[in-house]
């Protein structure tokens, strides 16, 4: 696996996780750009945790998209240091915790950008498997970066009997049942993100504190999650599509990008910020690798 030749200085601790994982702010000494450094102490992490991290690194190496957190390399000394974009805005979950529910115009913007990232992943047969607001980061300009690919897998390697991955409030019924898991499972989770952005909590958060009861409800209840009546009809219709019980009836990310809830935002954004002559969405995607360093996962 290729190593990074980036020389960096390590700064403040940004966060810590299990198995000796820590994320630090870093400074690229050659360019002055900020980056995030995820360090794993191999003496504290078990073999399975290290194997999962290696799989995540291998996956990150393949991804190049403006709405996916950028990977810049790995360095190995006493442990493993993974270098990725630094997202100064933190996660959407942290923004909600600070400012409360977001207005619908912001939700449209974030949702469209998450969809663009998911569409890219799904086109390359990659399932995220843990889509939630805590795993969606924002750069300093408020641009969305889908992050945290620890649970992600190639579609061809998914074993339904071993695929109960994700966060309970965001899990699709088929994930809980461990059957028919595919791209559309990420879209159910996206619907949960929209609800969280609009209300400050994911679906069912006010109803259940017991995971077993939550799972039973998601699997057995036919009715979709209740949405606030204050949401626009476009938003409610978008969520209803994400929450279709049968995953085969849920639209793909590509189809959802054409839904008025997010397509309308794109038109309004273009009116405010018209693109340079000759530039279209496909052109912007092709230059994703040239974006600045910035985001942790």
Q: Which residues are catalytic?
A: 130
Strands of the 71-76 sheet, one edge to the other: 8-16, 21-28, 34-40, 80-85, 71-76
Question: Which tokens go with 203?
Answer: 């679906």
Q: For residues 75 and 84, what is the distance between their CA atoms, to the nearest angstrom?
A: 12
Query: Can you state the angle between helices 233-242 and 183-199, rounded to 10 degrees?
Result: 140
């Amino acid at each position: 696996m290729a190593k990074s030749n980036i020389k960096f200085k390590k700064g403040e601790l940004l966060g810590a996780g299990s198995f000796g994982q820590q994320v630090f702010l870093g400074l690229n000494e050659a360019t002055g750009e900020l980056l995030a450094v995820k360090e794993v102490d191999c003496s504290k992490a078990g073999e399975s945790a290290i194997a999962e991290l290696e799989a995540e690194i291998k996956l990150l190496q393949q991804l190049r998209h403006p709405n996916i957190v950028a990977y810049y390399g790995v360095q190995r000394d006493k442990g493993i240091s993974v270098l990725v974009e630094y997202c100064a805005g933190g996660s959407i979950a942290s923004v909600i915790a600070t400012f409360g529910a977001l207005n619908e115009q912001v939700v449209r913007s974030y949702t469209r950008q998450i969809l663009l990232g998911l569409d890219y992943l799904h086109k390359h047969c990659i399932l995220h498997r843990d889509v939630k607001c805590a795993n969606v980061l924002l750069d300093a300009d408020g641009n969305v970066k889908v992050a945290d690919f620890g649970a992600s897998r190639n579609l061809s390697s998914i074993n339904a009997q071993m695929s109960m991955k994700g966060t309970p409030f965001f899990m699709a019924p088929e994930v809980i049942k461990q059957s028919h898991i595919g791209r559309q499972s990420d879209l159910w989770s996206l619907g949960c993100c929209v609800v969280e952005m609009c209300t400050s909590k994911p679906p069912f958060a006010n109803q259940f504190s017991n995971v077993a009861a939550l799972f039973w409800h998601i699997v057995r209840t036919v009715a979709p999650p209740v949405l606030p009546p204050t949401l626009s009809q476009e938003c409610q219709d978008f969520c209803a599509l994400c929450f279709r019980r049968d995953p085969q009836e849920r639209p793909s990310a590509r189809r959802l990008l054409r839904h008025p809830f997010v397509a309308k935002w794109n038109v309004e954004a273009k009116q405010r910020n018209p693109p340079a002559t000759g530039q279209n969405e496909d052109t912007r995607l092709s230059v994703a690798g040239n974006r600045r360093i910035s985001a942790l996962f």
